[in-house]
Amino acid sequence: MTTAFVFSPSAQGGTIALIEKRMLGPRPVPVDMWHTAPESLAPAVRYLKRLIDSGGASIQGTEVTVTTDALLSVPASIATLLQTPAIAPLSLSLSLNGRVETSDGAITASWYDTNFRRLTPKRTGMFVGFGQETGRLATPVYHLLEAIDAYNATLGQPPEQRLPSWLAVQQRLEPLTGTAVKADKILQNLRIYQAGAFALDIKQAVGAPIFDPVLMVSAMRASLEDETIAPEGSGGDGMELNLKDNEEHALLAPHQHAEFLKQFNADGLGTRPSYVVARNTYLVIEPELQSALNVVKRLRRAPDSERRAFLRNPRTYIAEALPDAGEAIGTIFVETRQYSERVVGLGIWEKPKLDWLMRKGQGWLPERFVLRVGSKDLEVDAKGVEELAAAADSAASEGREDIRYRGETFSKDDVDAALARLRDMEAAPPHFDRSAEEAKLSEDRNVLLMNDNIEETGFAAGVTPRPLFAQKLWPSDAVRTVPKPHQTTGFGWLVDAWTSGLPGALLADDMGLGKTMQALAFLAWFRSNRHAAGAEAKRFHGPILIVAPTALLRNWQKEAETHLVPDSLGECVEVFGSGLNRLKARGPASPEDALDVSRLRDSDWILTTYETLANFHRAFARVAYSVAIFDEMQKIKAPDTINTHAAKVMNADFVLGMTGTPIENRIEDI
């Protein structure tokens, strides 16, 4: 006597019976007696029992009926014991008749055997019959054919109703193309994106900010609110859906997004159900999202006061405008961080009048530059300018018309004129014409305005403890240099400052004590902690910004290579020299777009100079940084320079200042 499973396919899945083959003929075994089956069949019996308990199968007399979804996930070893048909040795070829976005477009499937002969198998659910044989479809191929059937079922409907059904075909087709499935050129190149959520990309402007929608995938809507992880097979590949900023999960590529905005903003009509955003590339917008975008579209043209009111609380504003949307608003609109909370608008920068502060700052000056004095060119730095100004003051007090400076004699008028030009430069906004190339960037001479807290407290940083997931230990797995005791202490102090929720800290060790190494160790630990936090680290997913004098930029890179294990900080984006040129906008652009902001947002760590930060501060300020480091921070201690102003408008969750210059006991330093 032998006992074996017998499988019968059906459109809904299949039925399974356990048959005893006796001398008098086969006899089905009652399901409640399957546990007596031979030990070789025990794994299949246990698996079927779990399916019955979970609802994937049910008992029908002496048989067990299993759904298609349950059969698709049965392991190969169990499928063999259950006698389910083997994978059909067939290949599939797809072609498009008409156009996919029209009312009469349809997809035709053709089948071929291993000898490339065309067949016409009969498909029943996940099974196909060809000749005298029956085979089952691999799970990805079955899902693809189901999506094609759903698309073809929309034949004759308006294009905007057909495009969403194509999206499932596209998602199932991409991973199969070139393997078990071949598709014609049109199907391979066609792309249709479906938007189900949006964020706002905000740019400061005179009067009130302007804003554009950034479309996001529908799959994000349910997961962004609770920061869950997409299940395997959901299309998210198990990746975390925590939001770094409005670019990380953008649905469209930058050039496609630009084309969408061009059409979205071009007319006074409502949001369309679909847009053409590139060749063979279409965008479909869900109905409830269309309604929300209509609110955004109207408010983009609203008076300044109404735009400001909207941006203070977009979610509430949209909910009030669309009362029928209910709780869906909570997933249609995705909150993102943009400018620092202390930024209050855009306008002409005015140098603060600090009569109580007696100093001569050159906040705009590069490390070394050429100063024209009369007919002579002097190569000087900020200290040299101070020495020249002191020599001029001394000559004035003594009533002399000639000034001795570095072994040369200059007329007092020429020196006064040169110093006056420097003062004018310092008072100019960031796009002061320091080079013909930078002058071409924009004619807009406005700067981001902020609560500077000089005369009164207009801004106060909050103290919110940050989560700790990694141990507070020197990250020896990322830092290969053995630290000295004071460096370990300094590192621990930085970690404590970060976890306590402080907005920043100042590392003021004397020169030569390894401040850079301590900072790098902290950054390596920070990235490790952020990685361990997973979805809970949403607040800290911005890039790291490091600002340093020009002469120290390469030193930072060298120190990172010396002390850190490769890739501990990820990729460095150089925003200086040729790296700056690569990031500059091609053609006319507003200061907000003078640099490739998307590239900055996607970077791991950014290295730039104080002067570049000031010149392009309106672009830098659109990025939410997890950590910002200001090396040689004494360069921005003066409260009345544009370099200091630019640094303060950056949107950084944690700021680390570094200096080896002792803090002097003066009001300006405090």
Q: Where are the alpha helices (DSSP H) in 229-303?
A: 254-264, 287-300
Tokens matching residue 541 = 């997913």
Q: What local confidence, expressed as pLDDT, does residue 508 receive?
A: 86
> What's the pTM value of the predicted model, to 2 decimals?
0.61
User: Which H or E run contains 600?
Assistant: helix 597-602
pLDDT at 59 over 80: yes
Structure-model confidence comparison of residues 593 and 160, the more confident one: 593
Indicate the SS3 state at residue 363: coil
Q: What local confidence, expressed as pLDDT, does residue 365 receive?
A: 53
Q: What local confidence, expressed as pLDDT, does residue 663 receive?
A: 57
pLDDT at 222 over 50: no
Structure-model confidence comparison of residues 250 and 33, the more confident one: 33
Average pLDDT, the chain: 81
Q: Which amino acid, 326?
A: G
Q: What local confidence, expressed as pLDDT, does residue 177 receive?
A: 64
Q: What local confidence, expressed as pLDDT, does residue 227 receive?
A: 32
User: Which H or E run contains 92?
Assistant: strand 91-97
Name the pLDDT band for 587 (thresholds 50, 70, 90).
confident
Distance CA(260)–CA(258), nearest Å, equals: 5
Q: What local confidence, expressed as pLDDT, does residue 369 receive?
A: 64
Q: What local confidence, expressed as pLDDT, does residue 95 receive?
A: 85
Q: What local confidence, expressed as pLDDT, does residue 8 receive?
A: 94
For a pLDDT cut of 70, what percent of the chain falls above it? 84
Instruction: Look at 151-160, 217-226, 235-244 and tell me which has the smallest mean pLDDT.
Output: 235-244
Mean pLDDT computed over 656-661 = 86
pLDDT at 566 over 70: yes
Q: What local confidence, expressed as pLDDT, does residue 582 receive?
A: 93
Indicate the SS3 state at residue 595: strand
Q: What local confidence, expressed as pLDDT, does residue 261 receive?
A: 93
Q: What local confidence, expressed as pLDDT, does residue 438 receive?
A: 40
pLDDT at 384 over 60: yes
Q: What local confidence, expressed as pLDDT, does residue 60 receive?
A: 93
Distance CA(380)–CA(391), nearest Å, equals: 14
Instruction: Look at 16-30, 432-446, 457-471, 631-645 and tell me which has the smallest mean pLDDT.
Output: 432-446
Mean pLDDT computed over 269-279 = 83
User: Which H or E run contains 581?
Assistant: helix 577-583
Indicate the SS3 state at residue 272: coil
Using CA atoms, how far residue 336 sits from 333, 518, 539, 545, 619, in Å, is 10, 31, 10, 19, 17
pLDDT at 571 over 50: yes
Q: What local confidence, expressed as pLDDT, does residue 181 receive?
A: 72
Structure-model confidence comparison of residues 127 and 533, the more confident one: 127
Count how many Cα atoms sit within 13 Å of the Cα of residue 442 in the half-sphere of its side chain.
Answer: 20
Q: What local confidence, expressed as pLDDT, does residue 249 receive?
A: 59
pLDDT at 493 over 50: yes
Name the pLDDT band for 2 (thresholds 50, 70, 90).
confident
Q: What local confidence, expressed as pLDDT, does residue 399 receive?
A: 85
Q: What local confidence, expressed as pLDDT, does residue 311 receive?
A: 86
pLDDT at 135 over 50: yes
Mean pLDDT computed over 460-466 = 87
Structure-model confidence comparison of residues 312 and 497, the more confident one: 497
**Plot region of 144 (φ>0 → left; ψ -120 to 50 → alpha; else → beta):** alpha
Q: What local confidence, expressed as pLDDT, does residue 245 receive?
A: 36
Instruction: Look at 151-160, 402-411, 531-540, 639-648 and tell me which has the smallest mean pLDDT.
Output: 531-540
- Tens digit of each residue's pLDDT (9 = 90 or more) over 285-328: 877 888 889 999 999 889 988 988 888 888 888 888 777 765 55
Name the pLDDT band for 187 (thresholds 50, 70, 90).
confident
pLDDT at 431 over 50: no
What DSSP letter does each residue of 290-353 carry, written as one string?
HHHHHHHHHHHTS-HHHHHHHHHSHHHHHHHH-GGGGGGHHHHB-----S-TTEEEEE------
Q: What local confidence, expressed as pLDDT, does residue 29 receive?
A: 93
Distance CA(135)–CA(114), nearest Å, equals: 14
Q: What local confidence, expressed as pLDDT, does residue 607 receive?
A: 97
- Tens digit of each residue's pLDDT (9 = 90 or more) over 68-118: 999 998 888 898 899 999 888 887 888 888 877 678 888 888 888 877 788
pLDDT at 570 over 90: yes
